[in-house]
Structure 1
Amino acid sequence: MRTVLDKENKISQQVSCSQDWAPLAKGSRVGEYRIVEEISHNGQSITYQAQDCVIGDTVRIQEFFPFRMARRCEDGCTVEPLPNCQTQFKYFRASFMDLYQTLAGEKENPCLIPIIQIFEQNATVYVVSEYLGLQTLEEHLQQQGGKESWCRAKRYLMPLYNALSHLHKRGITHQGLSPQNIFLDQNLNPYLSGFSLSEIRTAQGELDSELFSGYSAPEQYHLESWQGSWTDVYSIAAVTYRVLTGKVPPDAGNMLDASGMKKQEPLTPAIELDADIPENVSEALETAMQPDRTRRYESVDGLLEKLLETVSSNTAVFRVEDTSNHNTVHLPQAEEDKASRVKAGSVYLLITMAATLLVLVVGVPKMYRYFNSTWEALSRDYSLEGEEDQNDTPQEEQTQQEEVSHKVENFVGKKASDVLNNTKYEQWYYFETVEEYNDNFAAGTICDQSLSSSTAISRKTTITLHVSKGPENEPLPELSGKTLEEAIQILSGMGKQWMVVQGNNTSVEPGQIFRTDPPAGTQLSKNSSDTILLYVAVEQPETTQPEEEPEEEEDEGVEVLSQKSSDRKVIKKKSTE
């Protein structure tokens, strides 16, 4: 549930929402993407579902559009700031780009939806990320009957705690954690979404605020309050409270008055709503959701430590003591019965000892041989079983380990096509490729990777494969003796330009190449468009006719016959005889 400021608080320069709040039209193009439909919007941006027009993938695009200080131009694409809002618009646009560029660099964080591209267009910023088709945590809880046990919830909550802790250490806070901004895939792997500028998560800020009742911390409802990692501590604890109890926590906006003083104690301890919730978990959530931030945990690590605190055993061992004393009365019959039992026991003891002795004399040799052979067999079986236990993890346990962790393979030296087309890698990797020249690997071979081999990952992770284009330089092949058509075909394949020079030469047939400039074997860069001079032998005339002098001195001895559309000049070298 979102809390949005009243429309009357919007700046006077803004015209009606129907005019200013205008998402991109369906079918319009942004970069290489085609807009399919609008998914959502808030006071900071509009989110779309779009299609990559190059490879056909479905993607998610966020367009920076703070409608309290900007509007859509008449062309239906450009975003422009409202009057007197130019400076603020530029500041927030730069902050928006900086936030998502930082998130894009967090490729090792398994709880972040991979960002594909960030670019500027239409005077604003666009963030393109993968469209994973996930369900919200709230939707998952509804399918589970409204809540979930601590034992099951830990599977997706623990990665969230660790992901938040890592982001906080990088100076990134979310400030919008709620079951609507946390997503789960089919394997219950969690993803964080809804990152925004701090101004949109503060009531009465410059941007239209987006707060989540029951999950936003008290300090987010007051401009003068300071926000930080403790704000996310409150929100993730509130999310955990909702997961375990099935109840949405009270709205934190009602916890503090304008001066920041505590008004009431509205939160019911989780253990009172569900007795199966561990006591230490209930206490941790109660501390993390204190209205006064100074009484909360400063970091997610502090919350996590309390959540995982081992509860000491309260099992007591009772011993029955002899309580008889000098006042205890012993009946005579009991004494007689006791003496009778002692006498009968002695007789039975003698009989038992005799039988035991007989068994030992007769059966010990047989028993020794039996147990000896049996022990050897058992020892061999136990040894083999131990080796199997060490080498082979039970199928169920192995499956759980594979779900939790996977070590990155070494792709260097493998053909890129074999790796990219292998379906077994789809579970763990998003592959990106970068082509580069490399003298040590053949073209099409992977020469480097962004994540080193044996790196542990816990979910599908983006990895960049550097694919060799072969050596950067290549030698000019021997073209002498080849026809002009053959030489042109070879140079076209190399991406080189050429010029034809006709001359007399008796070492080759007319129409064949007798020399190149530069000569064969010269190393040429594949990135450069070198021009190769091809000297072609012409048929010598039977009689030599004097030729007219050229009109211009600089063309003496050479005549340009024609110039091709491809900027290749055909030159005839004149005879000087």
Structure 2
Amino acid sequence: MIKETSLCMGCMNDKTYDGPCKLCGYSDDAPCIPTYMAPKTFLAERYIVGKVISYNGEGAIYIGYDTAAGIKVTIKEFMPDTLCMRKKGETEITVEPSSAALYKTYLSEFIDLNRTLMKLRGMSHVQTVLDVFCENNTAYVVFEYINGISLKTYLANSTGDMAWEQVKELFSPFFTTLSLIHSAGILHRGISPSTIFVTDKMELKLTGFAISAARTTGTEVACEVFAGFAAPEQYTNEINGTWTDVYGIAAVLYRCLTGCTPTEAIARSGGNLLEPMMVNRNIPENISNVIMDGLQLSPEDRIRTMTEFVDRLFSQPKPAEPVPADKQHLTRREIKQRKERAKTIAVLAIAGMVLVAFVVVFVLTLNGAFQGGNSSSQPETSEAVTTEETSSTPEETEPTDPPATSSTDPVVTGDTLRLPDFDGRSYDYEVERYKNKITFVPTYVYSDEYANGQMFGQSIPAETDVTTGVTVEITVSKGPSKVALPSYTGMSSEKYTAELSKLNIKYSVETERSNDAETGNVARCSVEIGDLVDVENNQEIIVYIAENYTPTAEPTEEISDDGSYEEIITEEIVTGEGIIE
């Protein structure tokens, strides 16, 4: 369906005149790629599709406009061109019959990935997913429109490299977001300057999430890997993990700090990648070492998690002791001689102190003898000796506890705060509250005691004085491990699946011919309403969407070749939107 509009299909700004757009230069006469949707296509009775921004083996990305919210958006269409095609002038996608099963598998993964991302919409450094829906025998994802440029363009427009202090300030909150994404069970596999955007507020946003097949060579989908930033296991059949994204972010830091893209992983041998500090002498040695450990070719030798990567990246190296000016030009022999001389002086100083102490004791003893005689002086002499001996050795005392401070005042110094008790508090609220003060690393678990989103089990006890920027590992509840299946009576597929997502219920959607509900509404589920669903063990339910039909004619009988009767039922084959049957 085509939607007539005065908007420019290149930038989605209002255009009331003929000819090319004065803002972006787009012209309505510009040729379109017939494989993808034509500009002004109207989706879900809400979104206007503009020009194609980019495309890869997974599908295409368009600029779009949300007519309900009145804002620009970005629309991603699932369309792996090795498995399906679109005929010129049509919006419906046609799937190759031999690839139907594989297409459905990848489509399901695409939907699950982006629905999980939609749950993380509170993260400010990830491109927000606004909507996920099925139409035209495929699925679509609506993202926020980012006002900014890619990090690749940003670096190209600047001096080419950045100072560590600038990188540290820009990337610190981004690292936290990446850790949270991993905790939610999502891998990116495409972290690079092309998928990281710098907004007009000088904040980083991660874009370009894709199904695993689109980021690994040797699959049925055309692979998109970013040379120099893709980990070596993405070129083989080795298992991908959090360490795969560690390689990507380490390569990004290498590019930012040195101005050079690392050698592509498959072209590297053991030691042919220069350390960052060898390219740029201003890079701190410990930063250079951590980046190189993140770029190890072997996943076993590489830093495994973002938590470890960040901890090592921001740990303060022990400062080297400054060399005295008079020793800066001495030979090793001269330095050794000076050390021997210093030792001799130290020994003589100790011997002198012992001699002085002996003289003091002797004088005090004689003084006591003259004053009180031999019988009464003995205890005094003994006391004097004991006192002197005691004063010549360190006094051993039990350590005393520091004075208690009030728990109501979390700030101890300008760079220190007293850690509160996060038990039972909202994770999203506390993350926002302690932004730039505490880095939370959550572990999501199911809990029958804590509500969804509540925290417990913090790694650092409450009332502990910590420095600003401290990393706190925290457990976040995903809600109860088993939940009752909600009612679907009279609900559309979009509303009901959104409700299931809130309850963490895994599901798949199928269309069936049914008159038990209106077309597009839920007809039934594979589990009865009210029955418990084991969300902790990923129990999956099937949601059947009704497609109304006119009852077919009664079965007729025909005589077969062998003379017997056969019952023949003629039924129309129906393919539901977004589902391959």
TM-score by length of 1: 0.51
- How big is the shift at 1:82? 1.0
- How big is the shift at 1:55? 3.8
- How big is the shift at 1:152? 0.4
Correspondence for 2:128: 114
- The whole-number CA distance in structure 2 between the counterparts of 1:148 and 1:316 is 28
- How big is the shift at 1:317? 6.5
Q: Does 1:308 align with 2:314?
A: yes
- The whole-number CA distance in structure 1 between the counterparts of 2:295 and 2:169 is 22
User: Paired residues, what number?
Assistant: 310
Correspondence for 2:264: 251
Correspondence for 2:362: none
For the Cα contact (< 8 Å) 1:101–1:118, is it kept in 2? yes
Q: Does 1:83 align with 2:97?
A: yes
Correspondence for 2:148: 134
Structural mapping, 1:286-301, within 5 Å: 286-301=292-307
Structural mapping, 1:451-470, within 5 Å: none
- How big is the shift at 1:406? 6.2
Correspondence for 1:283: 289
- The whole-number CA distance in structure 1 between the counterparts of 2:325 and 2:88 is 88
- The whole-number CA distance in structure 1 between the counterparts of 2:275 and 2:191 is 21
Larger Rg computed on CA atoms? 1
Query: Which deviates the most, 23-32 or 229-238?
Result: 23-32
- The whole-number CA distance in structure 1 between the counterparts of 2:58 and 2:174 is 24
- The whole-number CA distance in structure 2 between the counterparts of 1:146 and 1:318 is 38
Correspondence for 1:463: none
Match of 2:113 among 76, 99, 113: 99
SS of the equivalent of 1:129 reads strand
Structural mapping, 1:18-37, within 5 Å: 22-31=35-44, 32-37=46-51
Match of 1:161 among 166, 169, 175: 175
- How big is the shift at 1:74? 5.3
Q: Does 1:190 align with 2:204?
A: yes
**Aligned residues with identical type, % of pairs:** 29
Correspondence for 1:217: 231
Taking a change above 3 Å as real, the CA distance of residues 86 and 317 of structure 1, as seen in their structure-2 partners, is closer
Correspondence for 1:173: 187
SS of the equivalent of 1:295 reads coil
- How big is the shift at 1:54? 3.0
- Give CA deviations for 1:227-282 in whole Å, capped at 9, x if unaligned: 11110010100000000000000011223xxxxxxx44221000001111010110
- Give CA deviations for 1:152-190 in whole Å, capped at 9, x if unaligned: 011221122211111111110000011000001122211
Gaps of 5+ in 2: 1-30, 327-337, 343-410, 415-430, 435-451, 455-581
Q: Does 1:273 align with 2:287?
A: no
- How big is the shift at 1:313? 1.7
For the Cα contact (< 8 Å) 2:232–2:266, is it kept in 1? yes
- The whole-number CA distance in structure 1 between the counterparts of 2:71 and 2:173 is 28
For the Cα contact (< 8 Å) 1:20–1:67, is it kept in 2? no
Match of 2:56 among 39, 42, 48: 42
- The whole-number CA distance in structure 2 between the counterparts of 1:54 and 1:316 is 65
- The root-mean-square deviation of aligned C-alpha atoms, in Å, is 2.9
Q: Does 1:200 align with 2:214?
A: yes
- How big is the shift at 1:108? 2.9
For the Cα contact (< 8 Å) 2:147–2:200, is it kept in 1? no
Amino acid in structure 2 at the alignment position of 1:47: I
- How big is the shift at 1:130? 1.1
- The whole-number CA distance in structure 2 between the counterparts of 1:46 and 1:216 is 21
- The whole-number CA distance in structure 2 between the counterparts of 1:160 and 1:147 is 18
- Give CA deviations for 1:50-90 in whole Å, capped at 9, x if unaligned: 11223431110001000000011455101121120000111
Gaps of 5+ in 1: 1-17, 256-262, 325-389, 394-404, 409-449, 453-577
Amino acid in structure 2 at the alignment position of 1:280: N
- The whole-number CA distance in structure 2 between the counterparts of 1:159 and 1:302 is 15
- Give CA deviations for 1:192-249 in whole Å, capped at 9, x if unaligned: 0000011111112111000100000111111x21111110010100000000000000
- Give CA deviations for 1:276-318 in whole Å, capped at 9, x if unaligned: 1010110001111011110001101111122112111212374
- The whole-number CA distance in structure 1 between the counterparts of 2:178 and 2:198 is 16
Structural mapping, 1:403-418, within 5 Å: 407=433
For the Cα contact (< 8 Å) 1:21–1:67, is it kept in 2? no
Taking a change above 3 Å as real, the CA distance of residues 177 and 276 of structure 1, as seen in their structure-2 partners, is same
SS of the equivalent of 1:47 reads strand
Taking a change above 3 Å as real, the CA distance of residues 276 and 74 of structure 1, as seen in their structure-2 partners, is closer
For the Cα contact (< 8 Å) 2:78–2:138, is it kept in 1? yes
Taking a change above 3 Å as real, the CA distance of residues 19 and 25 of structure 1, as seen in their structure-2 partners, is closer
For the Cα contact (< 8 Å) 1:200–1:208, is it kept in 2? yes
Correspondence for 1:526: none
Taking a change above 3 Å as real, the CA distance of residues 21 and 212 of structure 1, as seen in their structure-2 partners, is farther
For the Cα contact (< 8 Å) 1:20–1:71, is it kept in 2? no
Extract structure 1 runs of 4+ deviating beyond 3 A. Answer: 18-21, 316-324, 405-408
Amino acid in structure 1 at the alignment position of 2:200: Q
Match of 1:61 among 53, 65, 75: 75
Correspondence for 1:551: none
- How big is the shift at 1:116? 1.4
Amino acid in structure 1 at the alignment position of 2:255: R
- How big is the shift at 1:143? 2.5
- How big is the shift at 1:19? 12
- How big is the shift at 1:107? 2.4
Amino acid in structure 1 at the alignment position of 2:178: L
TM-score by length of 2: 0.50
Taking a change above 3 Å as real, the CA distance of residues 315 and 19 of structure 1, as seen in their structure-2 partners, is closer
For the Cα contact (< 8 Å) 1:70–1:79, is it kept in 2? yes
Amino acid in structure 2 at the alignment position of 1:268: L
Taking a change above 3 Å as real, the CA distance of residues 86 and 406 of structure 1, as seen in their structure-2 partners, is closer
For the Cα contact (< 8 Å) 1:43–1:207, is it kept in 2? yes
Taking a change above 3 Å as real, the CA distance of residues 42 and 51 of structure 1, as seen in their structure-2 partners, is same
- The whole-number CA distance in structure 1 between the counterparts of 2:32 and 2:59 is 16
Taking a change above 3 Å as real, the CA distance of residues 21 and 272 of structure 1, as seen in their structure-2 partners, is farther
- Give CA deviations for 1:435-463 in whole Å, capped at 9, x if unaligned: xxxxxxxxxxxxxxx999xxxxxxxxxxx
- The whole-number CA distance in structure 2 between the counterparts of 1:276 and 1:282 is 10
- How big is the shift at 1:133? 2.1
